[in-house]
Amino acid sequence: MNIIAIVYERLRGRPLPGDIPPSVLGSFVLDKGVDAIRGLSLPRRSDRAGLRFRGAGVRIRNSSHLAVGAGVALGEGVLIDAFCRRGVALGPNVTVGPGARLLGSGVISERGEFIRVGARTAIGAANLIWGQGGVTIGNDCLLGPNVTMVSEDHVFEDPSTPIRTQGSRRAPIVIGDDVWIGAGATVLKGVTIGDGAVIAAGSVVTKDVEPFHIVAGVPARDRGSRTAQPEADDD
């Protein structure tokens, strides 16, 4: 148990609770052991050695464009297509939840830019991250399930021409450190979200978000700062 707890804390940056039933812990260790064996096939970054974890049914396309840091864990059914100009890079101890999609390009004929995910960030289950215009996600971020990031949209000004033939517009998405993006939120092209910001579940973010601010709604609107002090009571 001590060895397991040490390894867990080193990989995830937090202690393993001591009240986990032995049967649950044993199953967890067995599953992670199998994932670690599968993880031997993952492309490695040159900066660090260490375990990498690959869940059942993970699909990786264009692996020569993918770099995976030590401690990265890919959940069941993850798809990564790393074909893009500057590749897809996952920093140390990143976790990618079951069913998530990280796609460097929208279509093969229109190569995307890149996807960069910082250390210890958690990509939630069924997330969709498209790197057509470039997506940068900082360290220690939390993305809930079903979060979508799309760094491209379509031109549609000419009603006499099919939208699919009018081209597209791209702009990078930049997410700072320690950002929490709630379940079902969507972040659109050209948006920068500052460090420590919180994006409420279901929001559609179309404009920049200041550091440590909370936004919510469709489209997302500023709901105030996390650092604001409550007003003093006069009584």
Q: Which residues have a catalytic role annotated? A: 154
| Sign, CA torsion 64/70/75/76 | positive
Tokens 């250390």 sit on residue: 119
* 81's tokens: 């297509």
C-beta of residue 214 within 8 angstroms of C-beta of residue 233: no
- The helices-and-strands tally (H runs, E runs) of the chain is 2, 24
CA dihedral 225, 180, 20, 58 (to 10 degrees): 180
Tokens of 27: 């199953």
Residue in this structure with the two tokens 């559609």, named with its chain if needed: 204
Q: What single letter denotes the amino acid at residue 107?
A: V
Between the alpha carbon of residue 8 and those of residues 93, 94, 106, 163, the distances in Å are 11, 13, 36, 49
Cα–Cα separations (whole angstroms), residue 1 to 20, 65, 180: 10, 38, 31
